[in-house]
Amino acid sequence: MVLTKRVLRVAAAQLGPIGREESRSDVVTRLLALLDEAAQRRAELIVYPELALTTFFPRWYTEDPSGHDHYFERSMPGPETQVLFDTARGHGIGVHLGYAELTDDGHRYNSAILVDRDGHTVGRYRKVHIPGHEDDEPLRPFQHLERRYFEESNDGFPVWRAFGGLVGMAICNDRRWPETYREMGLQGVELILIGYNTPLHYAPDPAQNPLQAFHNHLCMQAGAYQNGTWVVGVAKGGTEEGVESLAQSAIIAPSGQIAAQAVTAGDELIVADCDLDWCRHYKETLFDFARYRRPEMYGRITGQKGVEEPS
């Protein structure tokens, strides 16, 4: 019997800023350059960030919430992105890509697609936790109007069989919530793909600004370790339209250790060989859920939304 080791070479394709007027095809050219490098480095999966095709448009208010619809995709792959998926299939590389999704019946989601090495769609994820605000807040130096332009998804956190393992997705703010990882951990996830756009300035509490990089790795490393899974966090970083965003993309092992990390705030590819069998060391010992979890003690987690202090 031949035993094949389940090692997946994953490339995290960090992006630098995308200007407001930068065209889709200009961006796709940048994505293709990173894909070429991924092919040279013999990656099997390339992971692009959240909203990887456009500038982070929720930083501007429009009176009509449809005012940014030109930044949304009506189909995925679409006319401008087909070349990316065709080229990836030619290289035998799977693709994870974040984009703004406008459905036929008019719903707007912050989404990501996962395509396998043969070009077949594995699944699509729609962001569950939508941060920021709904209305213009002119006192902020820039807006974070995700809640104006995107609906909260009710699709949850599916996990798919793909790339020889169990793969799930989350998007940006989702990574800060332990429930995100546990939902997938309870489905045996071995690889979680997460794109993000994280401004360094957090208007509601600027005391958090210098901690952005720390909090980014803190939550992803904890999510990886506590669920025995690989986590790939990929930024769109650098100064975009005057707003400085966090870079520090990282590929995190089930031990919680960082296996690879970006060192620039621009377009940069980092690669790691992700041994999916490493997950079992955690899933079958300290975090043997079936043996040690006490779900009957965790009722508040699904039964209650906000804090209810004792009387």
Total site size for ligand CDT, rule CB under 6 A: 10
Other C-beta atoms closer than 10 Å to the C-beta of 242 total 9
Burial label for 188, CB within 10 Å (0-12, 13-18, 19+), is middle
- Does position 198 interact with ligand CDT (CB under 6 A)? The reply is yes
| 197 interacts with ligand CDT by CB under 6 A | yes
Residues 6+ apart with CB under 8 A from 63: none
Selected range binding ligand CDT among 111-119, 177-185, 193-201, 230-238, rule: CB under 6 A: 193-201
Which residues, 124 to 163, sit near ligand CDT by CB under 6 A? 131-132, 144
**Between residues 160 and 177, which has the closer beta carbon with respect to ligand CDT?**
177
- Please say which residue, 124 or 236, places its beta carbon nearer to ligand CDT: 236
- Residue 77: asked if its preceding bond is cis (omega within 30°), the reply is yes
Compute CA 163 distance to the chain's CA centroid, rounded to the nearest angstrom.
17
Any contact of residue 172 with ligand CDT (CB under 6 A)? yes
Do 9 and 36 contact (CB within 8 A), yes or no? no
Q: How, if at all, do strands 243-245 and 238-240 pair?
A: antiparallel
Residues with active-site annotation:
50, 127, 172
Cβ contacts of 305 within 8 Å, gap of 6 or more: none
Choices 115-123, 196-204, 225-233, 265-273 (CB under 6 A): range interacting with ligand CDT: 196-204
Nearer CB in complex with ligand CDT: 131/164: 131
Give 132 or 228: the residue with its C-beta nearer to ligand CDT: 132
Does residue 55 belong to the site contacting ligand CDT (CB under 6 A)?
Answer: no
β-strands 165-171, 191-196: how paired?
Answer: parallel
The footprint of ligand CDT (CB under 6 A) covers 50, 131-132, 144, 172-173, 176, 196-198
